[in-house]
Amino acid sequence: MLDWFKKGLGLQHQPIHPPWRAGQYVSYFLTREDGTWTAMAIRLHGQMEDGSWALSADFKTQLGECTAWFRSDPRASLDTFDPMPGRVERIRGAPMSGNADVSTLVQRPEMQTSMAMNLLMVRRWGAAKEALGGAAREVGYPCGIDRAYQLVTPGPGAEVRKHHDLNPRVMLTGVACLSIDGGKNPITVTSFGWSDPNGGMPDSYDDFVDFSHPKRVDHEAFSLTYPATWFLRSEEIEEPGLRTVKHFAQLGGNTCATTLSVTLSHGNAAQVAAERDGIVNKLEALPKSKEGDVRRRTADVPVVSGDAAGFAFDFIGPEIDGFSANGVFRTDAGDRVAQLSLFGCVARANPRRDQTLAEMRAVFREIVESFQFT
């Protein structure tokens, strides 16, 4: 198979996508014919001392989540696979069991890492570059991708063919969709872009947040429905008298970005009541802030029940417009309080500003309303 890659595809170093830069990201969603799915988000962290690139890939399935690390050497010889996989860390879900049946094993998040390899290897194929010189066909993929260049290669079986829809706008891989036999089990790009660690502005407005494929996820103390390619990571926060854990996800790039945070505090009823009232008071006072123009909304406010409170705000700055949806929840026992906060912003010059803000308002409200303690 390796000889076929070298001879049939003419491996070469020139990529089929924008040049790699630290902070670039791309996400994909795989839909299988049997109804199972996998969400994936790849991020480029930077170059190591030897010049190799460090990448991470988060994977999510119905059985949990994991993070895998990869190393890509720009000087790797053309007769080797690149990138090379590294450690895999289980984030959520039960450990793998040796007694699991095959159908369960293939749904384990740890078993999805080959997805990243299949997408990242294409960038080195000479035939992929040649495909970009051919005729494009019309497609309807996310991120405004309406044209793609097709490359067909042998699959894992004698009769199987892999169909790569290539588009040079897609960060890191250049692959808009990868399927087998002309459309089965498609792995489709859902977002990509550049989040510059140094805060620089990009060369274009080609950065996106994925608002699609909402999935309900059971975390340790709560459940929430949010886009499958969003990956919440947690850390404990020291607070007087309370045990607090913050779950946080940061999405998007320099001209279009979103954050999701869920902060849970545990304590006695009096401590939790005081914390809950303090959070609500801060949110009610937010429109009086002197940091930019903050306006409390009466539309698109999350609808919550009991003593829970929902809030929505517009943020208007000199260069960006933003929207925030918030929810404050307390258990019936009074021993836990949760603050759910979503914030999204779009550069005013971004041509998709209005469309993206409308998506944020709809999706953020649904996320807040989906919150439940477990």
Q: Quick one: pLDDT at residue 291?
A: 56
Same domain membership, residue 350 and residue 221: yes
Q: Is residue 200 part of a domain?
A: no
Same domain membership, residue 179 and residue 220: no
Q: Is it the case that residue 292 has pLDDT exceeding 70?
A: no
- Distance, in Å, from the CA atom of 284 to the CA atom of 303, rounded to the nearest integer, reads 16
Q: Which of 4-8, 217-221, 352-356 has the lowest mean pLDDT?
A: 4-8
Q: Find the Cα–Cα–Cα–Cα dihedral 283, 286, 291, 295, rounded to 10°.
A: 120
Model pLDDT for residues 127-179, shown as the tens digit of each residue: 999 999 999 999 999 999 999 999 999 877 667 889 999 999 999 999 999 99
Proportion of the chain above pLDDT 70, given as a percent: 93
Q: Quick one: pLDDT at residue 13?
A: 47
Domain boundary among 163, 194, 225: 194
Average pLDDT over residues 335-359: 97
Q: Is residue 185 part of a domain?
A: yes
* Sheet with 184-194, edge to edge strand ranges: 84-92, 64-72, 53-61, 37-47, 24-31, 184-194, 175-180, 161-166, 145-154, 137-141
Q: Is residue 62 part of a domain?
A: yes
Residue 355 CB-half CA count within 13 A: 10
Same domain membership, residue 218 and residue 132: no
Same domain membership, residue 278 and residue 151: no
Q: Quick one: pLDDT at residue 8?
A: 43
10 Å CB burial of residue 323 (0-12, 13-18, 19+) is buried
Q: Quick one: pLDDT at residue 339?
A: 98
Q: Is residue 284 part of a domain?
A: yes
CA distances from 96 to 17, 34, 217 (A): 36, 21, 19
Same domain membership, residue 37 and residue 165: yes
Same domain membership, residue 137 and residue 11: yes
Same domain membership, residue 224 and residue 167: no
Same domain membership, residue 176 and residue 237: no
Q: Is it the case that residue 236 has pLDDT exceeding 80?
A: yes
Same domain membership, residue 324 and residue 185: no
- Distance, in Å, from the CA atom of 271 to the CA atom of 315, rounded to the nearest integer, reads 31
Q: Quick one: pLDDT at residue 301?
A: 97
Beta bridge partners of 362: none
- Number of domains present in the structure of the chain: 2
- Count of CB atoms situated within 10 Å of the CB of 116: 25
Q: pTM for this one?
A: 0.92
Q: Which domain holds residue 305?
A: 214-373
Same domain membership, residue 184 and residue 237: no
Domain boundary among 160, 194, 228: 194
Same domain membership, residue 161 and residue 31: yes
Q: Is residue 89 part of a domain?
A: yes
Q: Which of 45-49, 86-90, 239-243 has the lowest mean pLDDT?
A: 239-243
Model pLDDT for residues 193-226, shown as the tens digit of each residue: 999 877 666 668 999 999 999 999 999 999 999 9
314: left (phi over 0), alpha (psi -120 to 50) or beta: beta
DSSP assigned state of 104 = H
Same domain membership, residue 144 and residue 27: yes
